[in-house]
Amino acid sequence: MPLWSNKDLYVYHGTDSRSVGATSATSGSILTFKVNLSLCRPFTDFGQGFYVTTNLHQAKQWANTRTRAVNLSLPVSASASVATILQFRLSRDWLAGLEGLTFVLDAADFWALVDDCRSGFPPHQRTGTKTAYEVVYGPVTLWPQKLIIKDCDQISFHTPNVVNSLPDPVLYEKANDSDPKRTLF
């Protein structure tokens, strides 16, 4: 019996409760969540896209960073946003059918792509076409340093067709929303 199978892949997206409308949802709730690529941050490792990871700890760090930024922009009277983790269950067959780039190591071509995307050049354009790759997989960087975070990965989706095909996520975890001082993981 083989140890590996083609089971679904579980990935996590770290965000804040306001961005996903999860302020009243409880863990395990299925959320109707649609990605708007135009609201995704530009100048990221693989360009503007929707990012997930297989590493729960990494997703929590992303959620904390996002929640801090959102809460700093809120009026003092507003209730705080809470660090939130969404879980997506992705079919490996679906992933395999996407036009993609995969980087296993932080080699020269990986850093060339990251530098271009972080500098604002159009992300990962293929020669002779204006179509971006649908998905990019690789290590998480500590850009602008040429360093990666050990055991952390990122998967980014870049086309409306693909993000609209993502399954509805499950609210995996929220930081303690009963204590306004405990909005982070």
CATH code of 125's domain: 3.90.228
Least confident stretch, 5-9, 39-43, 77-81? 77-81
What's this model's pTM, rounded to 2 decimal places? Answer: 0.91
Does the residue 136 lie in any domain? yes
Does the residue 16 lie in any domain? yes
Q: Find the domain containing 127 and state its range.
A: 9-174
CA end-to-end span of the chain: 39
Does the residue 55 lie in any domain? yes
Q: What is the DSSP string of 75-121?
A: -TTSPPP-EEEEEEEE-HHHHHTS-EEE-SS--HHHHHHHHHHHHTP
Does the residue 144 lie in any domain? yes
Does the residue 180 lie in any domain? no
> What does the pLDDT read at residue 121?
80
Question: Domain tally for the chain?
Answer: 1
Counting every residue, how long is the chain?
A: 185
Residues 34 and 146: their CA atoms lie apart, in Å, by: 33
Report angle CA 112, 113, 116 to the nearest 5 degrees. Answer: 85
